[in-house]
Amino acid sequence: MPTPSVAARRPAAVLFDRDGTLVVDVPYNGDPDAVAPMPGAVEAVARVRAAGLPTAVVSNQSGIARGLVTPDQVAAVNARVDDLFGGFDAWCVCPHGPEDGCTCRKPRPGLVVDAAARLGVDPADVVVIGDIGADVGAAAAAGARSILVPTPITRREEVAAAPAVAPDLVAAVELALAGGAA
């Protein structure tokens, strides 16, 4: 694991991507019974809470715009995630499709900025943890720091471009809490 730099600073909050980061990615999931935590994810989120930091989820849910899931189904899946993880301080969801031109869809900054505002912290004091380049891009666009946790769907170029990479969510949280996110 990388050593935090001299300028390292502990975040004021940690934001998590949902699918592929907190829970196993089930494309366009509208079924709460299909929600399963990623290995170590419940422990990782508990570690952030034990450190006294607020948590939020920032999640693109284009299945709503595509008509594949309803807002109520997404809300039910999110409620199941809350049940499994003990509840998050904020949920910020983009219901738009890639061609909608919204400011909230990652890699745009809207979800990160909104989550930081809801948590009462500056985006520059936030760490975003996710599994793809859009998560890293949203953090950068908002002036936040990020840590990429690659999964089989993460492209090699996304890993190479990420300012900080961790092998799993527990390691990512430890890196964030040590101030090592970039």
How confident is the model over 15-61, as pLDDT tens digits? 999 999 999 999 999 999 999 999 999 999 999 999 999 999 999 99
- pTM recorded for the entire structure: 0.94
What is the pLDDT, as a whole number, of residue 23?
98
For the stretch 20-37, what's the b/e string if a residue is b when 16 or more beta carbons lie within 10 angstroms of its beta carbon? Answer: bbbbebeeebbebeebeb
What is the pLDDT, as a whole number, of residue 182?
73
Q: Residue 49 maps to which CATH number?
A: 3.40.50.1000
In a domain, 20, yes or no: yes
Q: Which domain holds residue 167?
A: 13-177
Q: Does 83 participate in catalysis according to the annotation?
A: no
Q: Which residues, in sequence order, are CB contacts of 114 under 8 Å at separation 6+?
A: 92, 104
In a domain, 3, yes or no: no
In a domain, 115, yes or no: yes
In this structure, the number of other CB atoms found within 10 A of the CB of residue 58 comes to 32
% of the chain with per-residue pLDDT over 70? 96
- Model confidence at 75, in pLDDT bands (50, 70, 90)? very high
Summary count for the chain: helices (H), strands (E): 6, 5
In a domain, 182, yes or no: no
- Among the listed residues 17, 114, 131, 135, the single catalytic one is 17
**Which tokens is 173 given?**
């949280």
In a domain, 132, yes or no: yes
Average pLDDT over residues 87-101: 96
Q: How many domains does the chain have?
A: 1
CA atoms within 13 A on the CB side of 172: 31
In a domain, 114, yes or no: yes
Average confidence score pLDDT of the chain: 95
* Residue 151 and residue 131 in contact, taking contact as beta carbons nearer than 8 Å: yes
Average pLDDT over residues 153-161: 97
- Using the predicted structure, report yes or no on whether residue 97 has a pLDDT greater than 60: yes
Q: Is 84 exposed, middle or buried (0-12, 13-18, 19+ CB in 10 A)?
A: middle
In a domain, 107, yes or no: yes
Least Cα distance to 173 among 119, 127, 109, 139 occurs for 127
What is the pLDDT, as a whole number, of residue 6?
36
Q: Does 17 participate in catalysis according to the annotation?
A: yes
Cα(70)–Cα(20) distance, integer angstroms? 20
What is the pLDDT, as a whole number, of residue 3?
40
Tens of pLDDT, residues 106-132:
999 999 999 999 999 999 999 999 999
